[in-house]
A and B are shown apart, each in its own frame.
Chain A
């Protein structure tokens, strides 16, 4: 698959979860990877306002090979959710053909939306295996990197290192690698198993 922002049209991403899960940092890492290390453009906005209260948090990142004009995301191409509330709230906005990425142990999907691709990762559990639950957001970023294949993984990795305090770098890079490996394995598994891919690429 061709990678690189210059080959990419405008891609709109929304990330949602609880406050404290590191939603904003995840968005910063993705934006930074695109805008600084990949040489493209990225605009990140956070949801302030009433919806930012009561424990929920969300951020929007727009990536493009060209300067970005309109700053907000209405219908994301990619939705990353780390809480049930965020899933309920944002999944109806996902574009047809879009990608839904979930923290699969925190988000239960009774009836999967049709016409999208869906990938789940037990990010909290993977982070706990590293000894620190707090890095679940970076596990998500790694997983995002592997399943979307939009950004050069080295650039994403560098953006992780660049966005956390030096003392936390090693742990966060491990978290990134773990999430990325989980995603890469899943994609490879899907490629080998055409039936499974059908399941994940439901056509509406």
Chain B
């Protein structure tokens, strides 16, 4: 299925990451958003509120982030593609409903334009310190997908990917921008609508009599219905059986939680999105994501100019963690260098997967700016020694 041309602003634009992300939501088919303003993410929905009357859809400014993050789920069960947008403090408030989206398998997108934290922290300056929160922030065991764009162009492209993945796997997908990428203006090419692939909602083909709300299909993901189509259904955050009714016992819990956990395995095993360079001869691999990957690229160039065999593994999908790739690399490289705008979050995953086979060097940054490329370079040179 292709994008609806009504939402696609085909052309060459000079847009910031937030606005490009908004255009991505429209191209992906989102026709509902609810949000509560917070720097540095507001521009995404500000533009959406401006654009949506001509495209046809709804934006609601809610009373807070809790309301915004559950309103979008109502819209999804009403048949819309929907998303919300926030930054650190608001992301914290949304955690409960991220868990709700996970257990009710509600396809939706959460855009988090990360700023310095904790708490209100640095409203106008970048960080990447919500990476663990994106995966583990709500209680219980669940799986999500998180994508990390490093340019306005990718804010557009990956937002479409985020919606498509959320529909395919029926999981909340996190768009993990940061203030730098969100507020950076660059050329953004928006292609023709008929070249943009869109994953439609997996509506059931079964009759209301045959249909069961959480009956897994061959890919472990259940098909969906929407309100008003004549299917009776019950959506709950309680542990539920295939019919969708609460069934609070060990067996149902085991089936449900395992399935929610396992349904992303196909993504994990072989569909991780990443960019790699110079891995064939690499002795040191720089693992990075988001804005830091651009700064790291500069450090990498400098290192190679100095004759160091440094390679790049840039995570575009950070969750599920690209475990296979790191495990495979760990067997043949000397060290991983992991710069990130936090005190060392994804580096823990790298360490876990390296499992002692390669040295892992964290290059932390408390946020508020980006790394000095020389700091990353120094870490690469030391790791190569």
Mark A residues whose CB is within 8 Å of B.
Answer: 28, 31-32, 35-36, 41-46, 48-49, 52, 68-72
Contacts of A69 in B (CB 8 A): 294-295, 297-298
B291-A71 in contact (CB<8A): yes
- State the CA gap A79–B13 with chains docked (Å): 25
Contacts of A32 in B (CB 8 A): 14
29 CB < 8 A contacts A-B: A28-B185, A31-B185, A31-B186, A35-B14, A35-B186, A36-B13, A36-B187, A41-B186, A41-B187, A42-B186, A43-B184, A44-B184, A44-B185, A44-B186, A45-B180, A45-B183, A45-B185, A46-B183, A48-B124, A48-B125, A49-B125, A68-B186, A69-B294, A69-B295, A69-B298, A70-B373, A71-B180, A71-B294, A72-B369
Contacts of B14 in A (CB 8 A): 28, 31-32, 35-36, 42, 44
Contacts of B183 in A (CB 8 A): 45-46, 48
The reply on B107 being an interface residue by CB < 8 A is no
- State the CA gap A69–B295 with chains docked (Å): 6
A45-B370 in contact (CB<8A): no
- State the CA gap A74–B352 with chains docked (Å): 37
Which of A41, A48, A68 makes the CB contact (< 8 A) with B40?
A48
- State the CA gap A45–B122 with chains docked (Å): 17
Contacts of B370 in A (CB 8 A): 70-72
The reply on B1 being an interface residue by CB < 8 A is no
Apart from A35-B187, A49-B124, what are 5 other A-B pairs with CB-CB below 8 Å? Answer: A36-B12, A36-B187, A42-B14, A42-B187, A48-B39
Q: Tell me the total A-B contact number using a CB cutoff of 8 A.
A: 57
- State the CA gap A69–B180 with chains docked (Å): 12
Which of A35, A36, A45 makes the CB contact (< 8 A) with B184?
A45
Q: Which chain B residue lies CB-closest to A44?
A: B185
Question: Distance (Å) between the CB of A28 and the closest chain B CB?
Answer: 6
CB-CB contacts of B356-376 with A at 8 A, as 1s and 0s? 000000000000011001000
7 pairs of A and B residues whose beta carbons are closest in the complex: A48-B124, A44-B185, A35-B187, A49-B124, A32-B14, A69-B298, A69-B294
Question: Distance (Å) between the CB of B40 and the closest chain A CB?
Answer: 7
**Residue with the highest number of chain A CB atoms closer than 10 Å, among B124, B186, B294, B295:** B186
Contacts of A71 in B (CB 8 A): 180, 184, 291, 294, 370
- State the CA gap A71–B291 with chains docked (Å): 9
Question: Distance (Å) between the CB of A37 and the closest chain B CB?
Answer: 9
Question: Distance (Å) between the CB of B381 and the closest chain A CB?
Answer: 18
List residues 326-382 of chain B with CB under 8 A from any CB of chain A: 369-370, 373
- State the CA gap A68–B13 with chains docked (Å): 17
Contacts of B124 in A (CB 8 A): 48-49, 52
Contacts of A52 in B (CB 8 A): 124
Question: Distance (Å) between the CB of A107 and the closest chain B CB?
Answer: 26
Contacts of B39 in A (CB 8 A): 48
Contacts of A41 in B (CB 8 A): 186-187
Q: Which chain B residue lies CB-closest to A39?
A: B187
Question: Distance (Å) between the CB of A165 and the closest chain B CB?
Answer: 14
Question: Distance (Å) between the CB of A39 and the closest chain B CB?
Answer: 10
Question: Distance (Å) between the CB of B356 and the closest chain A CB?
Answer: 32
- State the CA gap A31–B122 with chains docked (Å): 27
- State the CA gap A45–B291 with chains docked (Å): 13
Question: Distance (Å) between the CB of B263 and the closest chain A CB?
Answer: 37
Question: Distance (Å) between the CB of B35 and the closest chain A CB?
Answer: 19
Question: Distance (Å) between the CB of A112 and the closest chain B CB?
Answer: 31
Contacts of B298 in A (CB 8 A): 69-70
- State the CA gap A84–B99 with chains docked (Å): 52
Question: Distance (Å) between the CB of B68 and the closest chain A CB?
Answer: 23
- State the CA gap A187–B84 with chains docked (Å): 52
Contacts of B122 in A (CB 8 A): 49
- State the CA gap A69–B372 with chains docked (Å): 12
A70-B295 in contact (CB<8A): yes
List residues 180-203 of chain B with CB under 8 A from any CB of chain A: 180, 183-187
- State the CA gap A44–B39 with chains docked (Å): 18
- State the CA gap A52–B183 with chains docked (Å): 14
Contacts of A70 in B (CB 8 A): 294-295, 298, 370, 373
Question: Distance (Å) between the CB of A191 and the closest chain B CB?
Answer: 33
Contacts of B180 in A (CB 8 A): 45, 71
Contacts of B294 in A (CB 8 A): 69-71
Question: Distance (Å) between the CB of B336 and the closest chain A CB?
Answer: 20
- State the CA gap A69–B369 with chains docked (Å): 14
Question: Distance (Å) between the CB of A169 and the closest chain B CB?
Answer: 17
Contacts of B186 in A (CB 8 A): 31, 35, 41-44, 68
Q: Which chain B residue lies CB-closest to A49?
A: B124
- State the CA gap A12–B40 with chains docked (Å): 24
- State the CA gap A43–B15 with chains docked (Å): 10
- State the CA gap A42–B179 with chains docked (Å): 18
- State the CA gap A68–B184 with chains docked (Å): 12
Question: Distance (Å) between the CB of A138 and the closest chain B CB?
Answer: 16
Contacts of B184 in A (CB 8 A): 43-45, 71
- State the CA gap A153–B125 with chains docked (Å): 35
Question: Distance (Å) between the CB of A85 and the closest chain B CB?
Answer: 19
Q: Which chain B residue lies CB-closest to A33?
A: B14
Question: Distance (Å) between the CB of B191 and the closest chain A CB?
Answer: 15
- State the CA gap A41–B153 with chains docked (Å): 12
